[in-house]
């Protein structure tokens, strides 16, 4: 019994004292801007109210006014309705259905600007002004690294994740 206990003790000491070969090196860290490694990933945002008119082909283009990286992603929300004094925001695109077709509030973006536009099959010139005038949008530009981490249809969740407390009015 003493031999077995001695053998187990010796075997345990040998196993805990051994060291294997070094593994492969890990990945490099996040490449920051201007040569700074790491850093806080920030988002930029603004709010804009606009009118869709026939003269402007029912579209409006707005420059960001801040740096947008090629990998950044733009999200646009529309103030859809007010419930109990609270604005309800919806992620674009959003569709309205009419007897004569559809109206789609939509957007696209580049590295320098965002374009808001009406799309669909209805005759835009016959729309009630409530569908075209004083439409309020919130634009949030986020790093592409963070896409897929939260539900982007929820503006409050996006604001919380990126530390956005207010939107610059334009």
Q: Which domains does the chain have, with CATH numbers?
A: 40-169 (2.60.40)
Would the pTM count as exceeding 0.75? Answer: no
Q: Determine what percent of the chain is predicted with pLDDT higher than 90.
A: 49
Q: Which residues of 101-136 are buried (b: 16+ CB within 10 A; e: fewer)?
A: eebebbbebeeeebebbbebebebeebeeeebeebb
Give the pLDDT confidence of 92-134 residue by residue, as tens digits.
Answer: 999 999 999 999 999 999 999 999 999 999 999 999 999 999 9
Q: What is the pLDDT of residue 43?
A: 72
| 41: nearest Cα among 69, 20, 76 | 69
| Per-residue tokens: 148 | 């897929």
Higher pLDDT, 28 or 164: 164
Q: What is the pLDDT of residue 36?
A: 47
Per-residue pLDDT for 37 more than 90?
A: no
Q: Determine what percent of the chain is predicted with pLDDT higher than 70.
A: 74
What letter would DSSP give residue 84?
T
User: What is the pLDDT confidence band of residue 35, given thresholds at 50, 70 and 90?
Assistant: very low
Q: In the beta sheet, which residues pair with residue 97?
A: 102
């Amino acid at each position: 019994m003493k031999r077995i206990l001695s053998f187990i003790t010796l075997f345990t000491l040998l196993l805990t004292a051994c060291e294997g070969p070094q593994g492969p090196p890990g990945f490099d860290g996040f490449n920051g801007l201007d040569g700074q490694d790491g850093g806080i990933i920030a988002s930029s945002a603004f709010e804009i109210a606009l009118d869709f008119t026939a003269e402007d082909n029912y579209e409006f283009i707005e420059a960001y006014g801040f740096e947008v990286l090629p990998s950044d992603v733009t999200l646009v929300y529309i103030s859809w309705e007010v419930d109990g004094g609270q604005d309800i925001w919806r992620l674009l695109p959003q569709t309205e259905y009419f007897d004569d077709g559809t109206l789609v509030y939509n957007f696209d973006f580049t590295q320098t600007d965002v374009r808001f536009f009406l799309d669909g099959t209805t005759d835009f010139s016959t729309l009630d002004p409530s569908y075209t005038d004083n439409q309020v949008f919130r634009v949030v530009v986020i790093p592409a690294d963070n896409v897929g981490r939260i539900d982007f249809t929820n503006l409050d969740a996006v604001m919380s994740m990126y530390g956005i407390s207010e939107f610059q009015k334009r």
